[in-house]
Amino acid sequence: MKKFRSSLLFVVMLAMAMVIAACGNGGGNENDEGNGDAEKKTTSLSILTGGTGGTYYPLGGAMASIIEDETDYKASAQSSGASAENMSTLKNGDAEIAFTQTDIASYALNGELMFEGNKVDNVQAIGTLYPETVQIITTKDSGIDSVEDLKGKTVSVGAPGSGVNANAQQILEIYGLSFDDIKAQNLSFDESTDGIQSGSIDAAFITAGTPTGAVEALAAQKDVKVVPISADKAKELMEKYPYYAEDTVPAGTYGIDEDVATVAVKAMLVVRDDLDEETVYNITKAIFENTDKITHAKGKLIKAETALDGIGDMPLHPGAEKYFTEKGVK
């Protein structure tokens, strides 16, 4: 009887061993297939954008989809506090790619303004995308026809330490003016246009893609005027601050009768400099050769041919440089 129980136990253990082995083989095949998928998507990339209601976030989502479709990398768009925060996050190594403005990137690179004492030295450019236009907004009956006419006026120049504030200071400087020559107000876009409508301020600096919602709302109530920046002053500005580029507010925008010459900083993509050349080359190529897949209106402005305009002193990543050299852009 004891021998029978021993034999029965041996048979049971043998059967269990065969089942485990069979499961192990089947699982191994499934794991092999899973590993194949994992190997296909070798790198996971985070793209820092801006708030979910802004322009950066939907563009970042479209670019993440393009990267996943066109390369062997995973990518995801992350909402954030936009330009300045994005530069700091890349410095800390907590993401790989980010949207920012060219002027903010320059301040970060050189440790200036909001980055004083906190220089960002591990970030390089992929390329610029589209203009963030500097718009000096007033009304047709304000008597303000030029930047010089702002002297003595009440003018919104954005929050202290903001990109708009720096734009206003630099443009006034080129015209021989400073904040001491105006009655400077530190207002948001909506506060600025509300102030123009109520008459509590005379004009406002607004740096944003056109058309800008706050200005459109003003144009529904008042006849809006966009103050021009003359060609010679734009050239002088760009020579001193190379992250600016020439731009135009087109006729019809806000109901204006003709094109208005101005300047713009650019929205740009930047990347940590420790990403390898091949990875950044593949990312750059995927984005700039598939802009037709970007449904957002700004997608039409994203072109390899203009991707180095207004890049300023931000160094180009070798992977991006390789792509633009192949395209004959650089």
| Same domain (yes/no): 147, 261 | yes
My answer on whether 73 and 117 are in the same domain is yes
Same domain? 248 vs 321? no
Q: Which residues contact 52 (CB under 8 A, 6 or more apart)?
A: 79
Instruction: Confirm whether 32 is domain-assigned.
Output: no
Q: What CATH number should be reported for the domain holding residue 161?
A: 3.40.190.10
Are residues 145 and 106 part of one domain? no
Which whole number is the average pLDDT over 58-67?
96
Residue 11, domain member (yes or no): no
124 and 272 part of one domain: yes
Same domain, 105 and 193: no
State the pTM of this model: 0.75
Within-domain flag for 224: yes
- pLDDT number for residue 42: 54
The predicted-structure confidence for 18-50, as pLDDT tens digits, reads as follows 444 444 444 333 333 333 343 444 589 999 998
Is residue 266 within 8 Å of 100, Cβ to Cβ?
no
Report if residue 30 sits inside a domain: no
Tell which of 248, 265, 282 closes a domain.
265
Range of the domain at 68: 42-130+268-326
Domain match, 233 and 244 both: yes
Verify that 125 and 142 share a domain, yes or no: no
Asked if 254 and 143 sit in the same domain, the reply is yes
In tens, the pLDDT along 95-142 reads 999 999 999 999 999 999 889 999 999 999 999 999 999 999 999 999
What total number of domains does the chain contain? 2
Given the DSSP bridges, would you call strands 260-272 and 97-101 parallel, antiparallel or unpaired?
A: antiparallel
User: Where a domain ends, among 213, 247, 265?
Assistant: 265
Question: Are 138 and 117 part of one and the same domain?
Answer: no
